[in-house]
């Protein structure tokens, strides 16, 4: 699958990052009532994404629990408008895409709505998140869902010749802090050696996460891979630091402008498409 067409997107160069972020927070400020960004403080919630009615089990008590990363135990508001908008923006190419999602969380909103429409979908997160994610996907997809990590339904380090045996939708552990040691298990899921598209919804909310998250994107990116992510506009320094990190790694960073997104996405969120810079051959 070729990289997506970027002709209508706004390239953000390193020199333009500060001005770009300033414009974001003056023109696309979030509504005052948005708060932190989770949907509801309830252990069972219902959301509708286009033609999908989803029942989602959360663990509100785990949100401030002892796990090193607990934000994934609840559904965050960015996932719903992102999942509603995404199929229309990707268009017919969606059915050909092989996708990995970083920081899927327990909700499985993107996995349940985008996964069935693409060629191959791998939802990843830290291991303590995966059990509830699997439960939500099985209920919302009304089918058995495989998890390479939880079920040992497929052996680790499956030979590339056995790739046809991987399920279309799978759930696997992927901890960004250990991305170098875990990335080969993720890459083995994709017959071409890398995904076509990396998705992430509201995964960066403090400065500590930026470098390991960038490591994960870089480690999973082949020459044809694009990253598509949505971030809620909270601390502008986090957005700026993320863009600096990715441009320093020679990624082209494109802002998806407001006229290409839904009304809901145009206020309080920002969407980026990124890919490795193409080095001309001589």
Judge whether residue 21 has pLDDT over 70.
yes
pLDDT score recorded for residue 277: 86
Mean pLDDT, rounded, for 226-233: 95
The answer to the question of residue 134 being in a domain is yes
Count of H-run helices and E-run strands, the chain? 8, 11
Query: The CATH number of the domain where 99 resides is what?
Result: 3.40.50.150
Please, which pLDDT band fits residue 153 given cuts at 50, 70 and 90? Answer: very low
Q: What's the pLDDT at 5?
A: 85
Residue 269 in domain: yes
Which of 1-15, 67-81, 188-202 shows the highest mean pLDDT? Answer: 188-202
Contact 109, 137 (CB under 8 A): no
pLDDT at 178: 87
Q: What is the pLDDT of residues 255-282, one digit of tens each?
A: 999 999 999 999 899 999 999 987 554 4
Q: Residues near 273 by Cβ (< 8 Å), separated by ≥ 6?
A: 4, 6, 9, 226, 227, 228, 254, 256
Q: Is residue 97 part of a domain?
A: yes
pLDDT of residue 167: 76
pLDDT of 46 over the 50 cut = yes
- In this structure, are residues 64 and 70 in contact, taking their beta carbons and an 8 Å threshold? yes
pLDDT at 159 over 50: no
pLDDT band at residue 3 under the 50/70/90 scheme: low
- What Å distances lie between residue 86 and 114, 229, 243, 268, CA to CA? 8, 11, 22, 17
In a domain, 190, yes or no: yes
Structure tokens at 140: 């919302």
| Residue 25 domain-assigned (yes or no) | no
Q: Worst-scoring range by mean pLDDT, 62-66, 209-213, 221-225? A: 62-66
Domain count, the chain: 1
pLDDT bin (cut points 50, 70, 90) of residue 69 is low
Residue 19 lies in a domain: no
Amino acid 114: pLDDT: 96
Tell me the pLDDT tens digit for each residue of 97-111: 999 999 999 999 999
Measured distance CA(135)–CA(151) in Å, rounded: 13
What predicted TM-score, i.e. pTM, was given to this entire model? Answer: 0.92
Tell me how far apart the alpha carbons of residues 7 and 178 are, in angstroms, rounded to a whole number: 35
Q: Is residue 30 part of a domain?
A: no
Query: pLDDT tens across 216-229, in order?
Result: 999 999 999 999 99
Domain range enclosing 138: 39-227+250-276
User: What is residue 265's predicted lDDT score, i.e. its pLDDT?
Assistant: 94
């Amino acid at each position: 699958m070729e990289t997506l067409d970027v002709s209508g997107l706004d390239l953000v160069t390193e020199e333009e990052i500060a001005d770009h972020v300033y414009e974001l927070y003056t023109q696309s400020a979030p509504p005052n009532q948005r708060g932190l960004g989770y949907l509801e403080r309830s252990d069972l919630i219902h959301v509708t994404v286009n033609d999908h009615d989803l029942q989602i089990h959360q663990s509100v008590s785990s949100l401030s629990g002892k796990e090193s990363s607990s934000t994934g135990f609840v559904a965050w508001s960015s996932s719903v408008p992102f999942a509603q908008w995404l199929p229309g923006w990707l268009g017919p190419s969606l059915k050909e895409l092989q996708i990995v999602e970083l920081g899927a969380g327990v909700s499985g909103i993107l996995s349940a709505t985008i996964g069935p429409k693409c060629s191959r979908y791998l939802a990843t997160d830290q291991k303590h998140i995966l059990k509830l994610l699997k439960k939500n996907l099985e209920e919302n997809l009304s089918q058995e869902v495989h998890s390479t990590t939880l079920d040992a339904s497929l052996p680790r380090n499956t030979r590339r010749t056995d790739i046809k045996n991987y399920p279309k939708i799978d759930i696997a552990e992927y901890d960004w802090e250990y991305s170098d040691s875990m990335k080969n298990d993720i890459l083995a899921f994709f017959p071409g050696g890398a995904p076509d598209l990396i998705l992430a919804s509201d995964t960066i909310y403090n400065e500590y996460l930026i470098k390991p998250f960038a490591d994960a994107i870089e480690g999973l990116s082949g020459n044809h891979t694009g990253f598509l992510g949505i971030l809620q506009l909270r601390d502008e320094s986090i957005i700026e630091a993320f863009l600096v990190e990715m441009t320093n790694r020679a990624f082209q960073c494109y802002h998806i402008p407001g006229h290409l997104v839904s009304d809901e996405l145009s206020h309080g969120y920002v969407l980026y498409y990124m890919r490795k810079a193409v080095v001309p051959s001589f």
